[in-house]
């Protein structure tokens, strides 16, 4: 189960990096001052950095069989999920609106968002179950 969590976490990260790349390429970092993007950079990069830190903790847990690292990875996933929901809540109205085609988030396709979210939920569940079962 712990290795399955690692695989889903890596796939989730791949989707996240894809979305980040699309957002940056469409001007997500430079458009904040103009008010065009709905994603604050601290939320985007906080989500990414916390997810990466949790992934590193999980990998170290797998390598060392240290239970504290499993709990650390699980604890880090909670704010990651919260920041992910914040971005999802800001992405949905932009995705639905027909007049905001120039907004950087609009470049992120629905299947990528859904896939990333589903993989994230599966990852969280696998990490939770693996951690509760002793890591």
Tell me: the pLDDT tens digits for 27-49? 888 755 555 788 999 999 999 99
**Tokens describing residue 95:** 């995705």
Let me know how long the chain is: 135
Give the pTM: 0.91
Query: Higher confidence at residue 135 or residue 27?
Result: 27
Contacts of 86 (CB under 8 A, 6+ apart): 43
What is d(CA 40, CA 46) in angstroms, rounded to the nearest whole number? 10
At residue 82 the predicted structure's pLDDT band, cuts being 50, 70 and 90, is: very high
Whole-Å CA distances, 25 to 18, 48, 54, 63:
11, 17, 26, 36
Provide φ and ψ at 119, rounded to 5°: -65, -35
Q: Is the pLDDT of residue 55 over 80?
A: yes
């Amino acid at each position: 189960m712990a290795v399955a969590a690692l695989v889903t976490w890596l796939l989730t990260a791949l989707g996240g990096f894809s979305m980040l790349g699309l957002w940056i390429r469409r001007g997500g970092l430079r458009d904040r001052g103009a008010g065009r993007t709905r994603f604050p950079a601290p939320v985007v990069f906080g989500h990414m950095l916390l997810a990466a830190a949790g992934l590193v903790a999980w990998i170290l847990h797998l390598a060392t069989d240290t239970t504290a690292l499993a709990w650390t990875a699980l604890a880090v996933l909670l704010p990651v999920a919260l920041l992910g929901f914040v971005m999802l809540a800001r992405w949905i109205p932009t995705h639905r609106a027909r007049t905001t085609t120039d907004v950087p988030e609009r470049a992120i396709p629905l299947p990528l968002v859904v896939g990333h979210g589903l993989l994230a939920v599966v990852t969280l569940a696998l990490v939770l179950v693996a951690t509760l079962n002793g890591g």
